[in-house]
Chains A and B, each alone.
Chain A
Amino acid sequence: MSQTDLSAQSRGNSGQSQQALVQLIDVCKTYGEHQVKAVAGVNISVPRGEFVSLMGASGCGKSTLLNLVAGLDNVSSGTILLDSEDISTMGDEDVTRLRGRKIGFIFQFFNLLSTLTVEENVSLPLELTTKLSAAQRREKVGLMLERVGMKERLAFYPAQLSGGEMQRVAIARALIHSPQLIVADEPTGNLDSENGAKILVLLKDLNQSMDQTIIMATHSEEAAQYGHRIIQMKDGMVISERLCVSS
Chain B
Amino acid sequence: MRFVLSLFYRFVVRDVRVNWVRTLLTIFGIALGVSVFLAISIANDTALTRFSQTVNRISGKANLELLPLSGVGVDQNLLTELSGLSAIDVKYTPIIDENIVIIGQSGVSGIKGSAGAATSKDDREMIQLIGIDMLADPEFKSYQEDADEADKKSKRDSNIHTSGAGAASENSKALDLSVFTPRAVLVGSKLAERYGFHEGSTFDVLSADQREHLKVAGILSGQGLGGAYSGNLIVADIGLAQDILHWDGRVSRIDLIVPPEALEPLQEKIKALVPSDVMVATPDTRSDQAHKMTRSFEYNLLALTLIALMVGMFLIYNTMTITVLRRRPEIGILRALGVSRTIIMRMFLLEAISLGGLGTLLGLVLGAVMANGALKAVAQTFQYFYFKVPLDNVTVDPMQYCLAFCVGMALTLAAAFPPLLEASSVAPAEATRRASHGTKVRSAKLVMFILGLLSLVAAYVFSLQSPLYGFPAFGYVAALFSIIGASLLTPYTLGHVLPVLAGPMASIFGVEGRIAARSLNGTLGRTAVASASLMIGIAMMVALAIMISSFRQTVTAWIDQSFKADLWLQSQARSAGNKEGRLSEDVLTKVASVKGVAAAEGFVDRRIMYEGMTALLGAADIDVLAKYGHQLFVSGRSSSEVCSKVVGMHAMVSEPFAVRRGVKAGDTISLDTPQGKKDFYVDDIFYDYASDLGYVIIPRDTYKRLFADTSISNAAIYIDKDADIDKVKSDVLTALKDNSLLSLNSTAELRKQAIIIFDRTFAITYALHTIAVTVAILSVMNALFALTLESKREFAILRYLGASKAQLSKVVYLQAALIGVFGNVGGIGLGYILSLLLVHVINKQSFGWSVQYSVPFDFIIQSTILVVFTAVLSAVIPAKMAARTLAPAAVRDE
Contacts and interface: CB of A to CB of B under 8 A. Distances in A.
B804 A96 contact: yes
A195 B888 CA distance: 25
A111 B793 contact: yes
Contact of A109 (B510, B511, B893): B893
Given A111-B793, A111-B891, A105 B518 contact: no
Interface in A145-163: none
B802 A72 contact: no
A177 B522 CA distance: 27
Contacts of B887: 67, 72
B793 A99 contact: no
Contacts of B804: 93, 96-97
A96 B801 CA distance: 9
Given A107-B891, A128-B807, A115 B518 contact: yes
Contact of B803 (A72, A111, A128): A128
B797 A111 contact: yes
A123 B510 CA distance: 12
A85 interface: no
B498 to A, nearest CB: 10
A97 B802 contact: yes
A124 B801 contact: yes
Interface string B494-538: 000000000000100011001100110110000000000000000
Classify chain A: how many residues form its interface, as a range.
20 to 34
Contact of B521 (A113, A115, A127): A115
A100 interface: yes
A129 interface: yes
10 contacts: A72-B888, A99-B800, A100-B801, A100-B802, A105-B801, A109-B894, A113-B794, A124-B798, A128-B803, A173-B801
Interface string A117-129: 0001001110111
A217 interface: no
A245 interface: no
A105 B800 contact: yes
Nearest to A96: B804
Nearest to A93: B804
Contacts of B515: 113, 115-116
Contacts of A96: 799, 802-805
Chain A binding site: helix, strand, loop or mixed by DSSP? helix
Residue of A67, A92, A124 contacting most chain B CB atoms (<10 Å): A124
Chain B binding site: helix, strand, loop or mixed by DSSP? helix
Contacts of A99: 800, 802
A72 B799 contact: yes
A72 B797 CA distance: 11
Given A72-B799, A92-B805, A96-B803, A120 B888 contact: no
B522 to A, nearest CB: 4
Given A105-B801, A113-B794, 6 more contacts: A96-B803, A96-B804, A99-B802, A105-B800, A113-B518, A125-B802
Nearest to B890: A111
Contacts of B511: 123-124, 127-128
A54 interface: no
Residue of A93, A96, A125, A128 contacting most chain B CB atoms (<10 Å): A128
Interface in A78-112: 92-93, 96-97, 99-101, 105, 107, 109, 111-112
B888 A67 contact: yes
A67 B796 CA distance: 12
Given A72-B888, A107-B891, A116-B514, A128 B522 contact: no
Contacts of B435: 114
A219 to B, nearest CB: 15
Contacts of A125: 801-802
Contacts, number: 70
A73 B888 contact: yes
Contacts of A7: none
A121 to B, nearest CB: 9
A128 B894 contact: no
Interface in B552-586: none
Contacts of B803: 96, 100, 128
B801 A115 contact: no
- Please give me the 4 A-B residue pairs with the lowest Cβ-Cβ distance, nearest first: A100-B802, A115-B518, A127-B511, A115-B522
A70 interface: yes
A72 B803 CA distance: 12
B525 to A, nearest CB: 14
Interface of A: 63-64, 67, 70, 72-73, 92-93, 96-97, 99-101, 105, 107, 109, 111-116, 120, 123-125, 127-129, 173, 177
Given A70-B800, A100-B802, A63 B518 contact: no
Contact of A128 (B518, B798, B888, B891): B798
A177 B802 CA distance: 11
Nearest to B803: A128
A113 B888 contact: no
Interface in B11-36: none
A73 B799 CA distance: 12
Contact of B802 (A64, A111, A129): A129
B888 A116 contact: no
B521 A101 contact: no
A97 B802 CA distance: 6
Nearest to A114: B522
Contacts of B506: 127
Nearest to B806: A93
Contacts of B888: 63-64, 67, 72-73
A177 B801 CA distance: 10
Nearest to B894: A109
Contacts of B798: 124, 128
Contacts of B514: 116, 120
A207 to B, nearest CB: 21
B519 A127 contact: no
Contacts of B893: 109
B483 to A, nearest CB: 30
Given A72-B887, A101-B802, A116-B518, A127 B794 contact: no
A176 to B, nearest CB: 10
A224 to B, nearest CB: 21
Interface string B429-454: 00000010000000000000000000
Contacts of B797: 111-113
A177 B794 CA distance: 20
B742 to A, nearest CB: 75
B207 to A, nearest CB: 77
Contacts of B802: 96-97, 99-101, 125, 128-129, 177
Contacts of B510: 127
Interface in B389-444: 435
Residue of A73, A101, A114, A115 contacting most chain B CB atoms (<10 Å): A115
Nearest to A179: B802
B319 to A, nearest CB: 24
B806 to A, nearest CB: 9
Given A63-B888, A111-B793, A72 B800 contact: yes
A124 B805 CA distance: 16
A114 B523 CA distance: 11
Contacts of A111: 793, 797, 800, 891
Contacts of B519: 115
B494 to A, nearest CB: 14
A103 B802 CA distance: 9
Contacts of A120: 514
Given A114-B522, A116-B515, A128 B800 contact: no
B491 to A, nearest CB: 16
A171 B888 CA distance: 19
Residue of B435, B521, B887 contacting most chain A CB atoms (<10 Å): B887
Contacts of A123: 511
A100 B804 CA distance: 9
Contacts of B522: 114-115
Contacts of A70: 800
Nearest to A127: B511
Contacts of B801: 100, 105, 124-125, 128, 173
